[in-house]
């Protein structure tokens, strides 16, 4: 597996870090693009599994780190769906050619949908892994009590301890306000490409019925939902990765 690491300069002078595998000579099918979750990066188990799978298939593969994440530049607290969508669209435009199968994990599932709306002609299919569109509203702002909302309004952020009980990240007022500009679930989502949604029913971060809502709102008639009864939010166990790569094969075969 020949993995190229690079940095893509944005119009305002920031860098998007990425890893990429070129398609095998003569390969004509779509490539695969992976979009990570909130406060995550391009180095996780799912990325490695996808990279190895794409290398075996001979298709291209791209994993980016959006603004304020991983090795990309920018401050995490200044990021939001608009900026992360722009990063994904720029990477799609500058680093890939032809149709792509876009995969989004958690927050990346929101960015995946926004990217598909921005570049419908470039989308061969979508795979959402515990996709979390609109999470800034009903899974963040709506869950803050009055004291925490007052703190966010006064300071511009609140500290949030992640599910591991150790890692702390700053969730900004900008993230919430920018999220409101990009809400999707209140109206039809005009995406007609094939879509697969994978969601664990033991997910304590993004409720599994979020995938049902997405499927209802998508205009595509080719939507499949896979509910993993004992699956958690990460879906990174061997059996979860096997399902993910099987869905990659299914959607690439139909492209």
- 178, 226, 233, 240: the catalytic one is 233
Q: Which of 122, 253, 130 is nearest to 200 (CA)?
A: 130
196 is catalytic: no
Q: Which residues, in sequence order, are bridge partners of residue 99?
A: none
226 is catalytic: no
- 87, 203, 211, 240: the catalytic one is 203
Buried b (16+ CB within 10 A) or exposed e, 130-169: bbbbbbbbeebbeebeeeeeebbeeeebbeeeeeeeeeee
- 40, 72, 105, 106: the catalytic one is 106
Cα–Cα distance between 6 and 112 in angstroms, integer? 21
233 is catalytic: yes
Active-site amino acid positions: 106, 203, 233
């Amino acid at each position: 597996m020949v993995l190229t690491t690079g940095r893509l300069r944005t119009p305002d002078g920031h860098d998007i870090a990425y890893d990429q595998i070129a398609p095998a000579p003569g390969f004509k099918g779509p490539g695969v693009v992976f979009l990570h979750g909130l406060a995550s990066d391009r180095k996780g188990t799912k990325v490695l599994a996808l990279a190895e799978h794409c290398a075996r298939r001979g298709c291209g593969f791209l994993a980016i780190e959006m603004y304020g994440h991983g090795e990309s530049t920018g401050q995490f607290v200044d990021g939001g769906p608009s900026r992360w969508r722009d990063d994904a669209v720029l990477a799609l435009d500058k680093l890939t050619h032809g149709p792509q199968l876009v995969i989004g994990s958690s927050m990346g599932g929101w960015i995946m949908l926004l990217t598909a709306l921005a570049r419908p002609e470039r989308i061969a299919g979508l795979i959402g892994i515990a996709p979390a569109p609109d999470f800034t509203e009903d899974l963040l702002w709506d869950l803050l009590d009055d004291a925490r909302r007052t703190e966010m309004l006064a300071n511009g952020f609140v500290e949030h301890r992640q599910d591991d009980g150790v890692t702390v990240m700053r969730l900004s007022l900008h993230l919430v306000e920018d999220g409101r500009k990009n809400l999707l679930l209140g109206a039809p989502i005009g995406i007609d490409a094939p879509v697969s949604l994978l969601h664990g029913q033991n997910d304590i971060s993004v409720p599994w019925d979020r995938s049902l809502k997405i499927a209802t709102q998508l205009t595509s008639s080719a939507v499949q939902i896979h509910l993993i009864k004992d699956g958690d939010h990460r879906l990174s166990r061997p059996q979860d990765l096997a399902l993910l790569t099987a869905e990659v094969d299914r959607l690439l075969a139909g492209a």
